[in-house]
Amino acid sequence: MSAWKNIWTITKRELGAYFGSPLAYVFIVIFLLLCGFFTFMVGRFFDRNQSSLIESFFIWHPWFYLFLVPAVGMRLWADERRVGTLELLLTMPVTPWQAIVGKFLASWLFLALALALTFPLWITVNYLGSPDNGVILTGYLGSWLLAGAFLGVSCMTSSITRSQVVSFIMAVVICLFLILAGFPPVTDMMSQFAREWQWFVDVVTSLSVMTHFDGFQKGVLDLRDTVYFLSAIGFSLFTTSVILRTHRQS
């Protein structure tokens, strides 16, 4: 119980740090504006005459998160290293894993809050038609898991460097690879140039977030997709712990 108490203490501290600065409010406003603009203007929600959020709302989330999630996660450890509080944190009666999980949960809950504030879109769809709310709920779950995977990557890159800018750039590059690896034009091009290495193309495609997020968008709750996102989060946090443990020993 003391372990979870330490995790929750760190989580509350980090959440307070978010809302104690303009970062949280700027992020939420930008995210909601992007969701509204791309859903109604770019996604042509009203022109489709369909009570669905698949092709006008959820389809844009990987691209929103590509930049917004690294912006949230870049400060997790880079800021601690820059101001010199990382050493203090690691010498407290808190294990590295508790600190990592606490910081990650705080950021993930913050992203969940931003996602939940898009509820007016759900209300609009239900007002204009009779959508399958189960599909919409699955899409929200997939979006949150996708944000968690990108956040895990950002947490990992933040532990490598003292610079938030460097952490942001590294996270964007890795997340962009995870998107493009399953993007149809990219997979088609790889298939043409590597016809004899189709197994390699399949492996790269299986690593893509797009491949696993597609099922959630369509309302398909596949255990394999859920395990993929949770595994991506777990691997990123494990790598973060290795990096921090190396820093602690040095």
CB 98 within 8 A of CB 137: no
For the stretch 64-89, pLDDT in tens is: 999 999 999 888 877 777 666 666 66
> 181 exposed, middle or buried (CB, 10 Å; 0-12, 13-18, 19+)?
buried
The arithmetic mean of pLDDT across residues 102-121, rounded, is 93
Q: What is the DSSP string of 138-204?
A: HHHHHHHHHHHHHHHHHHHHHTT-S-HHHHHHHHHHHHHHHHHTT-HHHHHHHHHH-GGGHHHHHHH
Domain residue ranges in the chain: 2-249
The arithmetic mean of pLDDT across residues 19-42, rounded, is 87
User: Does the pLDDT at position 107 exceed 90?
Assistant: yes
DSSP 118: T
DSSP 206: H
For the stretch 191-216, pLDDT in tens is: 777 666 777 777 777 888 988 998 89
Across the chain, which distance is largest between two alpha carbons, in Å? 61
What's the half-sphere exposure (Cβ side, CA atoms, 13 Å) at 98? 18
Residues 6+ apart with CB under 8 A from 173: none
DSSP 197: G
